[in-house]
Structure 1
């Protein structure tokens, strides 16, 4: 929370009904100079379209009313305003092939969603890489995580780990070193940014016009 208070951005998220963990994540994102995000099962929240985010939230199995879902979608879209600020952070996304192929929301939603990934990846401060199935086993098979880098702060970085047992933060030097090393390993085995965008475009086209067997 101290890191969130150090952010130069106004705490626009204070009006949302969210828990402290999520509130802290948004504060960290707003203060970040760089964000490294690995997602194996779904596309990153900072790249999601409203329809995709809506389908993700509906499919999570939690009891939410439609107004609650819409509030969460609105919040997720508001988080993306860091992409358009004057000094946006450098965003490095690594996603598993499964996240590009899972038909969350159906074919039309996925086609638009993958198109958005391609469009955002054209920005100079955004990198998207895909780990395809042929890469085999890798150090991050247990699940997704993110690293938020923050300058002029008491901590140089924070690791955010999500799971069914709850979300938590790691800020110890050893943890940061380990997760940075893992992310570097993922970057090295993933397709290059250019190859990744070609891959995403090919998956989008396959979803748009599926083969008839």
Structure 2
């Protein structure tokens, strides 16, 4: 889950193996960044989330100038090169074309949650 979409409790849970001295400033910084995207004059922000049980989440952010920001458990990376930006824009367009929306996505999420909880539908 990209940091800008996380609530403090989630942040604490994923940083459980760090000391309070380490987690406190990280959570505060994420909450401050989260406030920036809530402003009326904030840059546009697109996120594509995938439902997986494996690799880290990847987010694409459209800023001025464009930047691709990748987050994972132990860190993050920002790509600024025009070739990288173009490649991620193409990938985002492909993901949007193949994405499942509204009713279908709710059905898939419910089914996945039921599987994780061991409930038969």
TM-score (norm 2): 0.70
Say whether residues 1:187 and 2:101 are aligned partners: no
1:66 to 20, 27, 51: 20
Change (3 A) 1:85 1:145: closer
2:84: which partner in 1?
175
- Structure 1 length as normaliser, TM-score? 0.44
Q: Gaps (5+ residues) in structure 2?
A: none
The answer to whether residue 23 in structure 2 is matched with residue 45 in structure 1 is no
Q: How many angstroms apart in 1 are the aligned matches of 2:66 and 2:16?
A: 32
Shift of 1:177: 1.0
Q: What is the DSSP-based 3-state SS (H/G/I as helix, E as strand, rest coil) of the residue aligned with 1:147?
A: coil
Deviation track 1:35-70 (CA, whole Å, cap 9, x = no partner) reads xxxxxxxx22111111111111225xxxx3123212
Structure 1 residues without counterparts, runs of 5 or longer: 1-42, 103-140, 151-155
Helix, strand or coil for the counterpart of 1:178?
helix
> Per-residue deviation at 1:169?
3.2
Higher RCO (CA < 8 A, seq sep 6+) = 1
CA shift, 1:142, in A, is 8.9
| Distance verdict in 2 for CA 1:189–1:48, change over 3 Å | same
- Structure showing the higher strand proportion among its residues: 1
